[in-house]
Amino acid sequence: MTDDDFTVTPYAVQGDVDYERVLDQFGADELTEAERERFPEPLHPLIKRGIFYGGRDVEEYLDAIDEDEQVSIVTGRGPSGPMHIGHVFPLYLAKYLQDRTGAHVYIPISDDEKYFAKDQDFDDIQGWAKDNITEIMAVGFDPEKTRIVVDSADADVIYPWAAKFAKRYTQSTVNATYGDPDNVGLSFYPAVQATHLLLPQLVHGRHRTIVPIAVDQDPHIRLCRDVAAKEDYDVYKPSALLSRFFPQLKGDGGKMSSSDQNPTIYLSDDRDAVLEKIQTYAFSGGQTSLEEHREKGGDPDVDVAYQLLYYFFEEDDEKVEELAADYRSGELLTGELKNYAAEKVSDFLEAHQERKAALGDFDEEIRNYTLTDEERATLTEDLLY
Protein backbone atom coordinates (compact mmCIF):
# COMPACT_ATOMS: atom_id res chain seq x y z
CA MET A 1 0.00 0.00 0.00
CA THR A 2 1.20 3.50 -0.72
CA ASP A 3 0.05 6.76 0.78
CA ASP A 4 0.94 10.41 0.43
CA ASP A 5 3.35 10.20 3.34
CA PHE A 6 4.64 6.66 3.34
CA THR A 7 4.89 3.46 1.33
CA VAL A 8 4.71 -0.04 2.73
CA THR A 9 4.91 -3.02 0.37
CA PRO A 10 6.96 -6.21 0.64
CA TYR A 11 9.51 -4.59 -1.67
CA ALA A 12 9.58 -1.00 -0.42
CA VAL A 13 9.22 0.85 2.87
CA GLN A 14 9.62 4.59 2.71
CA GLY A 15 8.65 7.64 4.70
CA ASP A 16 7.24 8.08 8.16
CA VAL A 17 5.10 5.01 8.68
CA ASP A 18 1.69 5.37 10.33
CA TYR A 19 1.59 1.91 11.83
CA GLU A 20 -2.07 1.89 12.71
CA ARG A 21 -3.05 3.00 9.25
CA VAL A 22 -0.95 0.20 7.75
CA LEU A 23 -2.94 -2.37 9.75
CA ASP A 24 -6.19 -0.76 8.66
CA GLN A 25 -5.23 -0.73 5.05
CA PHE A 26 -3.84 -4.28 5.09
CA GLY A 27 -6.92 -5.43 6.96
CA ALA A 28 -5.03 -6.80 9.95
CA ASP A 29 -5.91 -6.25 13.63
CA GLU A 30 -4.14 -4.29 16.30
CA LEU A 31 -2.86 -6.45 19.13
CA THR A 32 -4.96 -5.68 22.21
CA GLU A 33 -3.58 -5.30 25.71
CA ALA A 34 -5.57 -8.38 26.72
CA GLU A 35 -4.01 -10.44 23.93
CA ARG A 36 -0.53 -9.29 24.82
CA GLU A 37 -0.98 -10.43 28.39
CA ARG A 38 -2.01 -13.89 27.25
CA PHE A 39 1.45 -14.56 25.77
CA PRO A 40 3.66 -16.90 27.83
CA GLU A 41 5.20 -15.46 30.99
CA PRO A 42 7.46 -13.66 31.51
CA LEU A 43 6.20 -11.44 28.70
CA HIS A 44 8.89 -10.79 26.13
CA PRO A 45 9.76 -7.08 25.76
CA LEU A 46 8.95 -7.29 22.03
CA ILE A 47 5.38 -8.24 22.98
CA LYS A 48 5.00 -6.23 26.17
CA ARG A 49 6.27 -3.01 24.64
CA GLY A 50 4.23 -3.29 21.48
CA ILE A 51 7.03 -3.82 18.97
CA PHE A 52 4.83 -6.64 17.76
CA TYR A 53 1.71 -4.56 17.60
CA GLY A 54 -0.66 -6.23 15.14
CA GLY A 55 -1.73 -9.56 13.75
CA ARG A 56 -4.26 -11.92 12.30
CA ASP A 57 -5.94 -14.73 14.28
CA VAL A 58 -3.63 -14.17 17.26
CA GLU A 59 -6.50 -15.02 19.62
CA GLU A 60 -6.85 -18.50 18.10
CA TYR A 61 -3.14 -19.08 18.44
CA LEU A 62 -3.18 -18.10 22.10
CA ASP A 63 -6.16 -20.38 22.65
CA ALA A 64 -4.17 -23.29 21.23
CA ILE A 65 -1.30 -22.52 23.61
CA ASP A 66 -3.75 -22.38 26.53
CA GLU A 67 -5.13 -25.76 25.49
CA ASP A 68 -1.59 -27.18 25.38
CA GLU A 69 -2.03 -28.01 21.73
CA GLN A 70 1.00 -28.37 19.49
CA VAL A 71 1.70 -25.01 17.84
CA SER A 72 4.24 -23.84 15.28
CA ILE A 73 6.10 -20.70 14.33
CA VAL A 74 7.36 -19.82 10.87
CA THR A 75 10.03 -17.15 10.55
CA GLY A 76 12.23 -16.96 7.49
CA ARG A 77 15.21 -15.25 5.98
CA GLY A 78 16.06 -14.06 2.48
CA PRO A 79 19.82 -14.51 2.18
CA SER A 80 21.32 -11.71 0.11
CA GLY A 81 23.82 -10.25 2.57
CA PRO A 82 25.07 -10.32 6.14
CA MET A 83 22.47 -10.30 8.90
CA HIS A 84 22.08 -7.28 11.11
CA ILE A 85 20.40 -6.81 14.46
CA GLY A 86 17.09 -5.96 12.78
CA HIS A 87 16.98 -9.43 11.26
CA VAL A 88 17.27 -11.48 14.43
CA PHE A 89 14.63 -10.13 16.72
CA PRO A 90 11.82 -12.27 15.21
CA LEU A 91 14.17 -15.27 15.48
CA TYR A 92 14.88 -14.58 19.15
CA LEU A 93 11.18 -14.10 19.75
CA ALA A 94 10.57 -17.47 18.10
CA LYS A 95 13.18 -19.10 20.33
CA TYR A 96 11.57 -17.51 23.38
CA LEU A 97 8.17 -18.88 22.35
CA GLN A 98 9.64 -22.29 21.50
CA ASP A 99 11.25 -22.49 24.96
CA ARG A 100 7.90 -21.79 26.62
CA THR A 101 5.45 -23.68 24.39
CA GLY A 102 7.43 -26.44 22.67
CA ALA A 103 6.47 -24.94 19.33
CA HIS A 104 7.87 -26.32 16.12
CA VAL A 105 9.92 -23.58 14.50
CA TYR A 106 10.20 -23.66 10.71
CA ILE A 107 12.75 -21.34 9.14
CA PRO A 108 12.47 -21.08 5.35
CA ILE A 109 15.51 -19.67 3.55
CA SER A 110 14.24 -18.01 0.38
CA ASP A 111 17.38 -18.09 -1.71
CA ASP A 112 15.21 -18.32 -4.82
CA GLU A 113 13.36 -15.09 -4.09
CA LYS A 114 16.55 -13.18 -3.31
CA TYR A 115 18.05 -14.45 -6.55
CA PHE A 116 14.94 -13.31 -8.46
CA ALA A 117 14.80 -9.91 -6.77
CA LYS A 118 18.47 -8.90 -6.49
CA ASP A 119 21.24 -8.22 -8.92
CA GLN A 120 23.35 -11.01 -7.45
CA ASP A 121 24.39 -14.30 -8.96
CA PHE A 122 23.24 -17.66 -7.68
CA ASP A 123 26.56 -18.62 -6.08
CA ASP A 124 26.69 -15.34 -4.24
CA ILE A 125 23.22 -15.99 -2.79
CA GLN A 126 24.28 -19.53 -1.80
CA GLY A 127 27.26 -18.09 0.07
CA TRP A 128 24.95 -15.76 2.00
CA ALA A 129 22.53 -18.62 2.65
CA LYS A 130 25.33 -20.56 4.34
CA ASP A 131 26.40 -17.50 6.31
CA ASN A 132 22.88 -16.63 7.38
CA ILE A 133 21.96 -20.19 8.34
CA THR A 134 25.03 -20.26 10.55
CA GLU A 135 23.76 -17.11 12.29
CA ILE A 136 20.34 -18.72 12.67
CA MET A 137 21.80 -21.88 14.17
CA ALA A 138 23.61 -19.65 16.68
CA VAL A 139 20.26 -18.45 18.06
CA GLY A 140 20.04 -21.70 19.96
CA PHE A 141 16.81 -23.28 18.79
CA ASP A 142 15.92 -26.80 19.88
CA PRO A 143 17.13 -28.92 16.93
CA GLU A 144 14.49 -31.56 17.66
CA LYS A 145 11.74 -29.04 17.05
CA THR A 146 13.35 -26.74 14.51
CA ARG A 147 13.61 -27.15 10.76
CA ILE A 148 15.59 -24.99 8.39
CA VAL A 149 14.33 -25.37 4.82
CA VAL A 150 16.21 -23.95 1.84
CA ASP A 151 14.07 -23.37 -1.24
CA SER A 152 16.71 -24.60 -3.68
CA ALA A 153 18.26 -27.42 -1.64
CA ASP A 154 14.85 -28.60 -0.40
CA ALA A 155 13.13 -28.14 -3.75
CA ASP A 156 12.04 -31.79 -3.63
CA VAL A 157 9.42 -30.80 -1.04
CA ILE A 158 9.04 -27.08 -1.76
CA TYR A 159 8.33 -27.11 -5.49
CA PRO A 160 5.59 -29.77 -5.64
CA TRP A 161 3.63 -27.95 -2.93
CA ALA A 162 4.30 -24.53 -4.42
CA ALA A 163 3.00 -25.91 -7.73
CA LYS A 164 -0.18 -27.04 -6.02
CA PHE A 165 -0.73 -23.60 -4.50
CA ALA A 166 0.33 -21.77 -7.68
CA LYS A 167 -2.81 -22.92 -9.43
CA ARG A 168 -4.76 -20.75 -6.92
CA TYR A 169 -2.80 -17.56 -7.52
CA THR A 170 -3.81 -15.53 -10.54
CA GLN A 171 -1.19 -13.31 -12.08
CA SER A 172 -3.49 -10.33 -11.60
CA THR A 173 -3.74 -10.96 -7.84
CA VAL A 174 0.03 -11.07 -7.62
CA ASN A 175 0.38 -7.91 -9.72
CA ALA A 176 -2.18 -6.10 -7.57
CA THR A 177 -0.44 -7.15 -4.35
CA TYR A 178 3.21 -6.69 -5.26
CA GLY A 179 3.22 -4.61 -8.40
CA ASP A 180 4.26 -6.01 -11.77
CA PRO A 181 7.03 -8.53 -11.16
CA ASP A 182 10.39 -8.14 -12.90
CA ASN A 183 10.58 -11.79 -13.89
CA VAL A 184 8.51 -14.98 -13.79
CA GLY A 185 10.38 -16.19 -10.72
CA LEU A 186 8.86 -13.34 -8.74
CA SER A 187 5.47 -14.12 -10.27
CA PHE A 188 5.70 -17.64 -8.91
CA TYR A 189 7.26 -16.81 -5.55
CA PRO A 190 4.04 -16.11 -3.60
CA ALA A 191 3.18 -19.78 -4.11
CA VAL A 192 6.55 -20.73 -2.60
CA GLN A 193 5.82 -18.41 0.30
CA ALA A 194 2.46 -20.10 0.85
CA THR A 195 4.33 -23.39 1.08
CA HIS A 196 6.61 -21.93 3.74
CA LEU A 197 3.73 -20.74 5.85
CA LEU A 198 1.79 -23.99 5.61
CA LEU A 199 4.78 -26.32 5.92
CA PRO A 200 4.35 -27.13 9.63
CA GLN A 201 0.77 -28.21 8.96
CA LEU A 202 1.77 -30.15 5.83
CA VAL A 203 4.26 -32.11 7.93
CA HIS A 204 2.41 -32.46 11.24
CA GLY A 205 -1.25 -32.10 10.29
CA ARG A 206 -3.61 -29.23 11.00
CA HIS A 207 -2.57 -27.06 13.92
CA ARG A 208 -2.13 -23.39 14.73
CA THR A 209 0.90 -21.65 13.22
CA ILE A 210 2.00 -18.08 13.77
CA VAL A 211 4.26 -15.96 11.63
CA PRO A 212 6.14 -13.16 13.45
CA ILE A 213 7.12 -10.77 10.72
CA ALA A 214 7.55 -7.09 9.97
CA VAL A 215 4.26 -5.53 8.93
CA ASP A 216 5.44 -4.92 5.35
CA GLN A 217 5.47 -8.69 4.75
CA ASP A 218 1.80 -9.05 5.68
CA PRO A 219 0.63 -9.24 2.03
CA HIS A 220 2.48 -12.58 1.69
CA ILE A 221 0.51 -13.89 4.64
CA ARG A 222 -2.76 -12.46 3.40
CA LEU A 223 -2.37 -14.18 0.02
CA CYS A 224 -1.39 -17.43 1.72
CA ARG A 225 -4.42 -17.23 4.00
CA ASP A 226 -6.64 -16.83 0.95
CA VAL A 227 -5.16 -20.00 -0.53
CA ALA A 228 -5.34 -21.88 2.76
CA ALA A 229 -9.02 -21.02 2.98
CA LYS A 230 -9.80 -22.99 -0.18
CA GLU A 231 -11.42 -26.25 0.70
CA ASP A 232 -8.71 -28.48 -0.83
CA TYR A 233 -6.31 -28.18 2.07
CA ASP A 234 -7.02 -29.32 5.58
CA VAL A 235 -5.11 -26.54 7.30
CA TYR A 236 -5.76 -23.52 9.46
CA LYS A 237 -4.98 -20.14 7.97
CA PRO A 238 -1.62 -19.13 9.45
CA SER A 239 -1.84 -16.49 12.18
CA ALA A 240 0.28 -13.37 11.76
CA LEU A 241 2.16 -11.42 14.40
CA LEU A 242 3.16 -8.12 12.88
CA SER A 243 5.97 -5.88 14.05
CA ARG A 244 7.07 -2.32 13.66
CA PHE A 245 10.31 -1.82 11.75
CA PHE A 246 13.44 -2.11 13.77
CA PRO A 247 14.95 1.39 14.13
CA GLN A 248 17.49 2.46 11.58
CA LEU A 249 20.63 3.96 13.08
CA LYS A 250 20.01 7.20 11.22
CA GLY A 251 16.48 7.20 12.50
CA ASP A 252 14.43 8.13 9.47
CA GLY A 253 11.46 5.91 10.12
CA GLY A 254 11.79 3.22 7.45
CA LYS A 255 13.02 -0.22 8.32
CA MET A 256 16.66 -1.07 9.01
CA SER A 257 18.13 -2.29 5.80
CA SER A 258 21.53 -3.32 4.59
CA SER A 259 20.48 -2.95 0.98
CA ASP A 260 20.80 0.81 0.89
CA GLN A 261 23.50 3.14 2.14
CA ASN A 262 22.39 3.16 5.78
CA PRO A 263 24.96 2.11 8.35
CA THR A 264 23.79 -0.93 10.31
CA ILE A 265 25.03 -3.10 13.13
CA TYR A 266 25.85 -6.57 11.87
CA LEU A 267 25.69 -9.74 13.95
CA SER A 268 29.41 -10.12 13.36
CA ASP A 269 30.33 -6.65 14.65
CA ASP A 270 32.66 -6.55 17.63
CA ARG A 271 32.39 -4.23 20.63
CA ASP A 272 34.49 -1.48 19.03
CA ALA A 273 32.53 -1.51 15.81
CA VAL A 274 29.20 -1.38 17.65
CA LEU A 275 30.35 1.51 19.82
CA GLU A 276 31.71 3.43 16.86
CA LYS A 277 28.59 2.94 14.75
CA ILE A 278 26.26 3.99 17.54
CA GLN A 279 28.41 6.97 18.49
CA THR A 280 28.82 8.08 14.90
CA TYR A 281 25.46 7.37 13.35
CA ALA A 282 22.70 6.75 15.92
CA PHE A 283 20.23 9.60 15.59
CA SER A 284 20.16 11.50 18.87
CA GLY A 285 17.16 12.89 20.67
CA GLY A 286 19.47 15.02 22.76
CA GLN A 287 20.24 18.70 22.57
CA THR A 288 23.13 20.13 20.58
CA SER A 289 25.08 21.48 23.57
CA LEU A 290 25.74 20.00 26.99
CA GLU A 291 24.22 23.04 28.69
CA GLU A 292 21.09 22.93 26.60
CA HIS A 293 20.74 19.19 27.22
CA ARG A 294 21.08 19.58 30.99
CA GLU A 295 18.47 22.32 30.84
CA LYS A 296 15.91 20.99 28.35
CA GLY A 297 16.59 17.26 28.42
CA GLY A 298 16.45 14.80 25.50
CA ASP A 299 13.64 13.04 23.67
CA PRO A 300 13.90 9.24 24.03
CA ASP A 301 11.05 8.70 21.55
CA VAL A 302 13.24 9.71 18.62
CA ASP A 303 16.60 8.74 20.09
CA VAL A 304 17.84 5.62 18.30
CA ALA A 305 20.16 4.50 21.13
CA TYR A 306 17.16 4.54 23.44
CA GLN A 307 14.94 2.86 20.85
CA LEU A 308 17.41 -0.01 20.48
CA LEU A 309 17.24 -0.57 24.22
CA TYR A 310 13.48 -0.22 24.32
CA TYR A 311 12.82 -2.49 21.35
CA PHE A 312 15.01 -5.37 22.29
CA PHE A 313 18.29 -4.91 24.11
CA GLU A 314 17.19 -3.87 27.60
CA GLU A 315 14.87 -6.48 29.05
CA ASP A 316 14.54 -4.76 32.43
CA ASP A 317 11.41 -2.61 32.42
CA GLU A 318 12.48 -0.49 35.36
CA LYS A 319 15.78 0.21 33.70
CA VAL A 320 14.21 1.41 30.42
CA GLU A 321 11.84 3.67 32.34
CA GLU A 322 14.69 5.03 34.38
CA LEU A 323 16.74 5.68 31.24
CA ALA A 324 13.83 7.50 29.60
CA ALA A 325 13.19 9.61 32.70
CA ASP A 326 16.86 10.48 33.17
CA TYR A 327 17.18 11.34 29.50
CA ARG A 328 14.11 13.56 29.55
CA SER A 329 15.32 15.33 32.66
CA GLY A 330 18.70 16.02 31.13
CA GLU A 331 20.51 14.00 33.74
CA LEU A 332 21.51 11.33 31.22
CA LEU A 333 23.63 12.65 28.37
CA THR A 334 23.48 11.42 24.76
CA GLY A 335 27.04 10.08 24.97
CA GLU A 336 26.21 8.16 28.12
CA LEU A 337 23.03 6.74 26.65
CA LYS A 338 24.92 5.72 23.51
CA ASN A 339 27.63 4.05 25.55
CA TYR A 340 25.04 2.13 27.53
CA ALA A 341 23.19 1.04 24.39
CA ALA A 342 26.45 -0.02 22.73
CA GLU A 343 27.31 -2.08 25.78
CA LYS A 344 23.93 -3.86 25.83
CA VAL A 345 23.99 -4.51 22.08
CA SER A 346 27.56 -5.79 22.36
CA ASP A 347 26.68 -8.08 25.27
CA PHE A 348 23.93 -9.55 23.18
CA LEU A 349 26.14 -9.93 20.12
CA GLU A 350 28.98 -11.43 22.11
CA ALA A 351 26.68 -14.15 23.44
CA HIS A 352 25.38 -14.76 19.93
CA GLN A 353 28.89 -14.87 18.52
CA GLU A 354 30.03 -17.29 21.21
CA ARG A 355 27.24 -19.69 20.32
CA LYS A 356 28.16 -19.27 16.67
CA ALA A 357 31.83 -20.05 17.36
CA ALA A 358 30.79 -23.17 19.26
CA LEU A 359 28.97 -24.60 16.24
CA GLY A 360 30.60 -27.52 14.47
CA ASP A 361 31.27 -27.89 10.78
CA PHE A 362 28.41 -26.41 8.74
CA ASP A 363 27.69 -29.57 6.75
CA GLU A 364 27.31 -31.57 9.94
CA GLU A 365 25.55 -28.92 12.01
CA ILE A 366 22.89 -28.22 9.37
CA ARG A 367 21.89 -31.89 9.46
CA ASN A 368 20.44 -31.27 12.91
CA TYR A 369 17.96 -28.88 11.36
CA THR A 370 17.08 -30.33 7.95
CA LEU A 371 13.85 -32.21 7.37
CA THR A 372 14.09 -35.84 8.43
CA ASP A 373 13.59 -38.62 5.88
CA GLU A 374 10.25 -39.35 7.50
CA GLU A 375 9.10 -35.72 7.28
CA ARG A 376 10.28 -35.60 3.67
CA ALA A 377 8.35 -38.79 2.90
CA THR A 378 5.18 -37.29 4.40
CA LEU A 379 5.57 -34.18 2.27
CA THR A 380 6.12 -36.13 -0.96
CA GLU A 381 3.80 -39.08 -0.44
CA ASP A 382 1.54 -38.18 -3.36
CA LEU A 383 4.40 -37.96 -5.85
CA LEU A 384 5.22 -40.71 -8.32
CA TYR A 385 8.57 -41.60 -6.74
Q: Backbone phi, then psi, for 267, in 5-degree steps?
A: -65, -20
- Residue 74, classed as helix, strand or coil, is strand
* Residue from the set 65, 136, 150, 227 that interacts with a copy of itself by CB under 8 A: 150
Long-range (24+ apart) CB contacts under 8 A made by 42-47 are 44/93, 44/96, 44/97, 45/310, 45/311, 45/312, 45/314, 45/315, 45/317, 46/89, 46/93, 46/243, 46/311, 46/312, 47/93
Q: Backbone phi, then psi, for 295, in 5-degree steps?
A: -80, -50
Please choose, out of 87-95, 148-156, 295-303, 331-339, the segment that lies near a copy of itself by the rule CB under 8 A. Answer: 148-156
Taking CB under 8 A as the rule, does residue 180 contact a copy of itself? Answer: yes
Taking CB under 8 A as the rule, does residue 182 contact a copy of itself? Answer: yes
CB nearer to a copy of itself: pick between 230 and 296: 230
* Residue from the set 40, 102, 140, 185 that interacts with a copy of itself by CB under 8 A: 185
* Residue from the set 12, 176, 184, 351 that interacts with a copy of itself by CB under 8 A: 184
Taking CB under 8 A as the rule, does residue 158 contact a copy of itself? Answer: yes
Q: Where are the alpha helices (DSSP H) in the chain?
A: 19-26, 33-37, 45-48, 58-66, 85-101, 111-117, 122-137, 155-166, 171-178, 184-204, 218-228, 271-281, 290-296, 304-308, 317-329, 334-357, 362-365, 373-379
* Residue from the set 38, 164, 222, 355 that interacts with a copy of itself by CB under 8 A: 164
> Least distance from C-beta 147 to a copy of itself, angstroms?
13
Please choose, out of 8-16, 115-123, 276-284, 339-347, the segment that lies near a copy of itself by the rule CB under 8 A. Answer: 115-123
Taking CB under 8 A as the rule, does residue 310 contact a copy of itself? Answer: no
> By C-alpha distance, which of 137, 130, 148 is closest to 82?
130
CB nearer to a copy of itself: pick between 110 and 264: 110
DSSP 39-73: SPSSPPHHHHTTSEEEEESHHHHHHHHHTT--EEE
Torsion angle of C-alpha atoms 204, 210, 216, 221, degrees rounded to 10: 50
CB nearer to a copy of itself: pick between 40 and 185: 185
Taking CB under 8 A as the rule, does residue 129 contact a copy of itself? Answer: yes
**With CB under 8 A, what is the number of residues at the site for a copy of itself?**
49
Taking CB under 8 A as the rule, does residue 140 contact a copy of itself? Answer: no
Taking CB under 8 A as the rule, does residue 116 contact a copy of itself? Answer: yes
Taking CB under 8 A as the rule, does residue 202 contact a copy of itself? Answer: no
* Residue from the set 20, 167, 206, 295 that interacts with a copy of itself by CB under 8 A: 167
CA contacts within 13 A on the Cβ side of 155: 5
Cβ atoms 245, 214 nearer than 8 A: yes
Taking CB under 8 A as the rule, does residue 378 contact a copy of itself? Answer: no
Cβ atoms 220, 75 nearer than 8 A: no
CB nearer to a copy of itself: pick between 62 and 133: 133
Range 332-371, binding a copy of itself (CB under 8 A): 363, 366, 370
Using CB under 8 A, list all residues that contact a copy of itself.
111-112, 115-116, 121-123, 126, 129-130, 133, 150-153, 155-160, 163-164, 166-171, 174, 180-185, 187-188, 190-191, 232, 363, 366, 370, 380, 382-385
